Amino acid sequence: MQELQMRIKELENTLIELIKEKKELHFNNQQLIIENRELKFKVNLMEDILDNMHEAVHAVDTEGKLIIYSKPNEKYNPCKKEDVIGQHESTIWKQPSNFVIDKEQIIRDGKPMKNINIIGNSVLGKGFHIIAGFYPYFENGEFKAFYYTGRDTTKVDSLIMETYELKRKISQANNEKNMENGCKFTLDDIIGNSTSIQACKDKARKIANYNANILIYGETGTGKELFAQGIHNESLYAHEPFIALNCSAVPETLIESLLFGTVKGAFTGAENIPGLFEQVGKGTLFLDEVNSMPLYMQAKLLRVLQEKKIRRIGDNRNIDVDCCIISATNVDPKEAIKKNILREDFYYRIATVQLIITSLRDRKEDIPILINFFIEKFNEKFGKKVECIDNNVMNFFLEYQWPGNVRELINTLECAIMLSENNETILTAEYFPNYIHYTRNKSYKKRKIRDEEESFVDFSSNSESLRTLLEDYEKEIILHVINSSNNNISVSARYLGIDRKSLYRKIQKYNLK
CA distances to 244, 432, 438 from 368, in Å: 30, 16, 20
Distance of alpha carbon 118 from alpha carbon 99, whole angstroms: 7
Distance of alpha carbon 311 from alpha carbon 315, whole angstroms: 6
CATH C-level class of 363-510: mainly alpha
| pLDDT for 119 beyond 70 | no
Q: Has domain 159-358 been given CATH number 3.40.50.2300? A: no
Distance of alpha carbon 266 from alpha carbon 263, whole angstroms: 6
Can you give the pLDDT at residue 438?
Answer: 58
Q: What is the mean pLDDT of residues 192-201?
A: 93
Distance of alpha carbon 403 from alpha carbon 409, whole angstroms: 10
User: Which of 279-283, 445-449, 464-468 is predicted with the least confidence, judged by mean pLDDT?
Assistant: 445-449
Q: What is the mean pLDDT of residues 251-270?
A: 81
| pLDDT for 454 beyond 60 | no
pLDDT, tens digit, for every residue of 80-103? 888 888 888 887 766 655 566 788
Q: Where are the domains positioned within the chain?
A: 1-52, 54-152, 159-358, 363-510
Can you give the pLDDT at residue 513?
Answer: 64
Contacts by residues 491-494 (CB-CB < 8 Å, ≥ 24 positions apart): 491/392, 491/428, 491/429, 491/430, 494/429, 494/430, 494/432, 494/434, 494/437
Can you give the pLDDT at residue 462?
Answer: 47
Distance of alpha carbon 229 from alpha carbon 233, whole angstroms: 6
pLDDT, tens digit, for every residue of 121-154? 666 666 667 888 899 999 988 999 999 898 877 6
Model confidence band, residue 336 (pLDDT cutoffs 50, 70, 90):
very high
Which has the higher per-residue pLDDT, 403 or 175?
A: 403
Q: What is the mean pLDDT of residues 424-432?
A: 88
Exposure class string for 377-408: b at 16+ Cβ within 10 A, else e? ebeeeeebebeebbebbeebbebbebebbbeb
HSE of 174 in the Cβ direction (CA atoms, 13 Å)?
Answer: 8
CA distances to 106, 115, 464 from 109, in Å: 5, 17, 71
Q: Distance from CA of residue 467 to its chain's centroid?
A: 48
Model confidence band, residue 33 (pLDDT cutoffs 50, 70, 90):
confident
Can you give the pLDDT at residue 171?
Answer: 55
HSE of 160 in the Cβ direction (CA atoms, 13 Å)?
Answer: 15
How does DSSP assign 142-199, residue by residue?
A: EEEEEEEEEEE-HHHHHHHHHHHHHHHHHHHHTGGGS-TTS----GGGS---SHHHHH
Can you give the pLDDT at residue 442?
Answer: 46
pLDDT, tens digit, for every residue of 343-359? 999 999 999 999 999 99
Contacts by residues 364-373 (CB-CB < 8 Å, ≥ 24 positions apart): 364/398, 365/193, 365/194, 366/191, 366/192, 366/193, 366/194, 366/197, 367/397, 367/398, 367/409, 368/394, 369/191, 369/192, 369/193, 370/191, 370/192, 370/406, 370/409, 370/410, 371/397, 371/409, 371/413, 373/191
- CATH number for the segment(s) 54-152: 3.30.450.20
| pLDDT for 446 beyond 50 | no
- Nearest to residue 192, comparing CAs of 355, 359, 356, 367? 367
The phi and psi torsions of 431 (rounded to 5 degrees) equal: -90, 0
Is the pTM higher than 0.85? The answer reads: no
Can you give the pLDDT at residue 463?
Answer: 46
Q: What is the mean pLDDT of residues 375-382?
A: 92
